């Protein structure tokens, strides 16, 4: 029996989530109606951040209506898929009377993919009251019966790294209640975890370059100690509630998120890898770019003009030659700080009983010959400031 599969990808952040979401979006053109990225909770973006906000803001025990809204969109898509599989011929592009026939589902999916790509840079709000969400009839989502389309079960992909904020021990049951609210579908949940000393550095740098981090890296590491333990305990709650539906995967050397997701979504081999070729990387930025963005007020004062952070990022993306002597490999950790952080993470896993983390990363800290740079505005010299000042016409001409 073909059954609709509903896959929730819960992050973590900095584990390839953006490239995965972008690649799945682009793959819609190739997969057609077999793969669905719901509009509900996604808006015009590529991730379901608005859905996360809806679940997070819901009172305990009141997530069923949210699940019902998502279920109605899935049901409408499934019903249309069933109807389309019964069609054996395609009408002419233009009828004799000059009117055009209704578009096929693959054509609609291609249009959806194009819309998703256009809106990939911004995350919208939940599309309240849309036709599919408000008017679609309740339906069995299992896809049983000959009209379901043999060989073409539906896979629904819901993804947001924001779900990580609901995986802590205080919110894990709430998240599990939401996931349990779906009936008539096969629910699978994916969590990808990287070695957390690397994760914490990446999160700090990302938050800093978006202007969300004012404290030092050392302060940030101290503030995360409690969060790590809370997260580990929350994952154990989810494991107890979801059982085999929860797949926790660790980013060991050689792990590739696109290859893993390609198999999970049951796509033709290489589909997501092909789709990713036009996706811009969101990996760690070159050191001077990172400093200019993280200390934007100081950068503006030195360069002598008001700078849009988003525009400067785009100019850096288009102009990798802005700074002489680019520093691509660097770390904020001194050797002792990295070891101390690693040891505390291993202790946290042992204290909470999250032994899977110990199994994955408990073999000792891997040696890295990466230069350490103080994360201060002083990393930008006079020549670097002059290079930024010279970008003023291009920055101001860059559309928002």
pLDDT tens sequence across 285-297 = 999 999 999 999 9
Assess whether 273 and 379 both reside in one domain.
Answer: no
The model's pLDDT over 38-85, given as tens digits with 9 standing for 90+, comes to 999 997 789 999 999 999 999 999 999 999 999 999 999 888 877 777
User: Is 326 within the bounds of a domain?
Assistant: yes
Assess whether 63 and 86 both reside in one domain.
Answer: yes
Assess whether 188 and 292 both reside in one domain.
Answer: no
* Cα angle value 92/131/32 (rounded, 5°): 45
Most trustworthy range by pLDDT among 103-107, 113-117, 180-184, 362-366: 180-184
pLDDT of residue 124: 33
3-state secondary structure of 273: helix
Beta strands in 10-76 (DSSP E): 35-36
3-state secondary structure of 278: helix
| Number of domains within the chain | 2
Average pLDDT of the chain is 85
**What range does the domain containing 297 cover?**
287-330+373-397
More confident residue, 128 or 335: 335
18, 282 Cβ separation under 8 angstroms: yes
Specify the pTM: 0.82
User: Is 99 within the bounds of a domain?
Assistant: yes
Assess whether 95 and 46 both reside in one domain.
Answer: yes
Assess whether 260 and 318 both reside in one domain.
Answer: no
Which one, of 264, 251, 236, lies nearest residue 6 by Cα?
264
Assess whether 39 and 107 both reside in one domain.
Answer: yes
pLDDT band at 89 (very low <50, low <70, confident <90, very high): very low
HSE-CB for 53 with a 13 A CA cutoff: 13
Query: Which residues are 9's β-sheet partners?
Result: 159, 190
Assess whether 258 and 323 both reside in one domain.
Answer: no
User: Is 29 within the bounds of a domain?
Assistant: yes
Give the number of other CB atoms < 10 A from CB of residue 8.
24
Which one, of 176, 103, 185, lies nearest residue 140 by Cα?
185
176, 242 Cβ separation under 8 angstroms: yes
25, 120 Cβ separation under 8 angstroms: yes
Assess whether 255 and 318 both reside in one domain.
Answer: no
The model's pLDDT over 261-288, given as tens digits with 9 standing for 90+, comes to 999 999 999 999 988 887 666 667 999 9
User: Is 378 within the bounds of a domain?
Assistant: yes
Alpha-carbon 79 to chain mean position: 28
Assess whether 29 and 90 both reside in one domain.
Answer: yes
pLDDT band at 192 (very low <50, low <70, confident <90, very high): very high
Share of the chain above pLDDT 90, in %: 69
The model's pLDDT over 212-223, given as tens digits with 9 standing for 90+, comes to 998 999 999 999
What span, in angstroms and rounded, lies between the C-alpha atoms of 154 and 76? 12
Torsion of the alpha carbons at 48, 51, 57 and 63, rounded to the nearest 10: -140
φ, ψ of residue 246 to 5 degrees: the values are -95, 125
Residue 274 makes CB contacts below 8 A (sequence gap 6+) with 27, 30
Torsion of the alpha carbons at 68, 72, 74 and 78, rounded to the nearest 10: 140
User: Is 387 within the bounds of a domain?
Assistant: yes
Q: Is 250 exposed, middle or buried (0-12, 13-18, 19+ CB in 10 A)?
A: middle
Assess whether 270 and 318 both reside in one domain.
Answer: no
pLDDT of residue 3: 80
Which one, of 262, 256, 186, 190, lies nearest residue 31 by Cα?
262
User: Is 377 within the bounds of a domain?
Assistant: yes
pLDDT of residue 211: 93
What separation in angstroms does the CA of 197 have from each of 89, 129, 359, 366? 56, 43, 16, 11
pLDDT of residue 112: 55
Q: How far apart are the first and last CA of the chain?
A: 49
Torsion of the alpha carbons at 301, 305, 308 and 309, rounded to the nearest 10: -30
Determine the average pLDDT of the residues in 11-35.
90
pLDDT of residue 93: 57
Which one, of 11, 30, 7, lies nearest residue 272 by Cα?
30
The model's pLDDT over 242-251, given as tens digits with 9 standing for 90+, comes to 999 999 999 9
HSE-CB for 267 with a 13 A CA cutoff: 29
User: Is 338 within the bounds of a domain?
Assistant: no
Alpha-carbon 276 to chain mean position: 14
What span, in angstroms and rounded, lies between the C-alpha atoms of 275 and 37? 15
pLDDT band at 125 (very low <50, low <70, confident <90, very high): very low
The model's pLDDT over 297-327, given as tens digits with 9 standing for 90+, comes to 999 999 999 999 999 999 999 999 999 988 9
Assess whether 27 and 171 both reside in one domain.
Answer: yes
pLDDT at 111 over 80: no
User: Is 274 within the bounds of a domain?
Assistant: yes
Determine the average pLDDT of the residues in 22-41.
89
For the ranges 22-26, 132-136, 155-159, the lowest mean pLDDT is seen at: 132-136
155, 37 Cβ separation under 8 angstroms: no
pLDDT at 90 over 60: no
Assess whether 128 and 24 both reside in one domain.
Answer: yes
Cα four-point dihedral sign 217, 222, 224, 228: positive
27, 272 Cβ separation under 8 angstroms: yes
pLDDT of residue 108: 54
């Amino acid at each position: 029996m073909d059954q609709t599969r509903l896959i929730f990808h819960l992050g973590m952040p900095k584990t390839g989530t953006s490239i995965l979401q972008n690649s799945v979006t682009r793959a819609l053109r190739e997969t057609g109606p077999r793969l669905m990225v719901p509009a509900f909770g996604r808006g015009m973006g590529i991730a379901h951040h608005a859905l996360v906000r809806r679940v997070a803001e819901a009172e305990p025990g009141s997530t069923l209506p949210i699940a019902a809204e998502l279920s109605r969109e899935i049901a409408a898509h499934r019903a249309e898929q069933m109807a389309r599989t019964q069609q054996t011929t395609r009408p002419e592009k233009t009828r004799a009377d000059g009117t055009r026939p209704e578009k096929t589902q693959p054509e609609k999916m291609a249009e959806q993919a194009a819309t998703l790509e256009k809106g990939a840079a911004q995350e919208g709000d939940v599309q309240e009251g849309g036709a599919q969400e408000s008017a679609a009839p309740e339906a069995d989502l299992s896809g049983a019966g000959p009209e379901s389309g043999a060989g073409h079960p539906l896979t629904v992909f819901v993804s947001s790294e924001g779900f990580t904020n609901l995986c802590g021990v205080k919110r894990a049951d709430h998240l599990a209640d939401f996931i349990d609210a779906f009936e008539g579908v096969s629910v699978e949940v994916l969590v990808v975890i990287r070695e957390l000393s690397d994760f914490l550095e990446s999160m700090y740098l990302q938050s800093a370059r978006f202007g969300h981090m004012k404290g030092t890296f050392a302060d940030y590491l101290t503030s995360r100690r409690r969060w790590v333990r809370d997260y580990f305990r929350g994952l154990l709650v989810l494991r107890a509630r979801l059982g085999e539906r929860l797949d926790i995967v660790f980013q060991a050397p050689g792990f590739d998120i696109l290859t893993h997701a390609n198999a999970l979504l049951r796509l033709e081999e290489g589909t997501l890898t092909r789709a990713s070729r036009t996706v811009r990387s969101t990996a760690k930025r070159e050191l001077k770019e990172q400093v200019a963005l993280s200390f934007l007020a100081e950068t503006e004062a030195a360069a002598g003009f008001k700078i849009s952070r988003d525009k400067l990022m785009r100019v850096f993306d288009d102009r990798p030659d802005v700074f002489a002597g680019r520093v691509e490999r660097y770390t904020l950790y001194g050797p002792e700080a990295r070891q101390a952080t690693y040891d505390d993470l291993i202790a946290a896993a042992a204290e909470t009983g999250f032994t899977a983390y110990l199994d994955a990363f408990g073999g000792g800290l891997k040696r890295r010959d990466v230069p350490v740079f103080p994360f201060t505005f002083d990393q930008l010299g006079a020549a670097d400031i002059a290079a930024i000042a010279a970008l003023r016409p291009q920055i101001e001409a860059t559309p928002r």
